[in-house]
Amino acid sequence: MRSADAELADAFFVSAVATLLLIRIGLEATGYPRLGGGGLHIAHVLWGGLGMLVALGLLLLFLSPFTRLLAAIVGGAGFGAFIDELGKFVTADNDYFFQPTAALVYVFFAVMFLAVRQIRRFRRLSPRESLVNAIELAESLVAGELSETDRTRALELLADADASDPLVSALRERFRAAARLSRPSVVQRIGATAGDRYSRVAGSRWFRRTIAGLFILQGAAFVVSLAYALVVIGGTLIGVEEARAELEQANGGNGVTSWIQILSGFIAGVFIVRGLLALRRSRLHAYRAFELAVLVDLLLAQPFAFLTTGFGAAADVFIDLALLAALRFMQTQERWMGDAAESRTGVILAAQGATNLGGDR
């Protein structure tokens, strides 16, 4: 039985990643102090366990939606503190500074996020699941904490439930008749405000042109790099010593790691060029190609960037995530504009048909 509430998993991920990064930044800024004395050291993995314990207690003892959100945030913070100590538990000498830790943590979060996303999207909620999720929202209705957002979501869920079930019609009437609606939560208000402002910015023409310009620059850089690589490889094959030295220097990294990063850069570049070629014909297809390029960088190149540079690669990940969010929003907007254009065309054709039919009479 799946939940329709995506906010809880998102809150968990954001809290976990933010906690991990704050711990790393704080320890770096303070010179890695030790909590405790006399041979004792209170590792922050213990605080992580405490956070997860508190989250579990909140879920076991309380029922309100706010408590579940709080448990997701506290549990995520606890998990972030826990996973930050991973290096100590995969090395024989308990090395907190084990460099591959950053790559392991990144891969773990990426796999977990994709798994949760797949569970959400592999099929629509069944009528039974829709009804159960609506019943979950009825807790807020009974407690007098129902917001307009929750009521709208509950009515959408009930629309997908089995209409022959008498509980569906009863719940629908109760949700529609709810007179006392609570104000949206702080998280919902912040999310709505941020979403509204982002929609205004991302929906503007200059924003689309900026994103397209960024990928045009990346595509041009890829073409130049590819041409240079072909020249170097060609020079190496015909025996030019300078070309051979340049090729050896370019691949002077960690062997397989370097070749994987080169391959991922090539694949991402191909998607970017493909998107640029499709940009004038179909912005939707272009944005899809750009999205695939970003995903290749996120899932194939960035794990090895974390492996070689540690947590310093996080800045590139945040840039990729921002680009991914922008591209997905623009794809949604393009689909909406396409549907609106088809609707207008249908109305015009219907009106013309009615006019022609009247003339025939």
Taking the whole predicted model, whether its pTM rises above 0.75 is answered as no
Number of helical (H) and strand (E) elements in the chain, helices listed first: 15, 0
Which residue shows structure tokens 């039919």?
357
What value, to the nearest 5°, has the Cα angle with vertex 21 and ends 17 and 23?
A: 120
Tokens of 266: 């090539």
Q: What's the CA gap between 308 and 266, in Å, rounded?
A: 19
pLDDT of residue 268: 87
Which DSSP symbol is given to 53? H
Which DSSP symbol is given to 92? T
Q: What phi, psi does 342 have (nearest 5°)?
A: -65, -40
What DSSP assignment string belongs to 94-158? Answer: --TT-TTHHHHHHHHHHHHHHHHHHHHHSSPPPHHHHHHHHHHHHHHHHHT---HHHHHHHHHHH
Which of 149, 224, 228 lies closest to 190, judged by CA?
Answer: 149
List b or e across 219-257, with b for residues whose CB sees 16 or more CB atoms inside 10 angstroms: beebeeeeeeeeebeebbeeeeeebeebeeeeeeeeeee
Residues of the chain with pLDDT under 50: none
Classify residue 268 as exposed, middle or buried by CB count within 10 Å of its CB (0-12, 13-18, 19+).
buried
pLDDT of residue 9: 83
Give tens-digit pLDDT for 167-224: 888 989 888 887 666 666 666 677 667 667 766 776 678 887 888 888 888 888 888 8
Give tens-digit pLDDT for 2-45: 676 667 888 888 888 888 888 888 888 888 776 655 567 777 88
Coil/strand/helix, residue 35 = coil
Contact 131, 162 (CB under 8 A): yes
Contact 181, 148 (CB under 8 A): yes
The beta strands (E) that lie in the chain are given as none
pLDDT of residue 147: 77
Which residue shows structure tokens 């990346």?
218
pLDDT of residue 77: 93
pLDDT of residue 358: 57
Q: What's the CA gap between 43 and 28, in Å, rounded?
A: 15
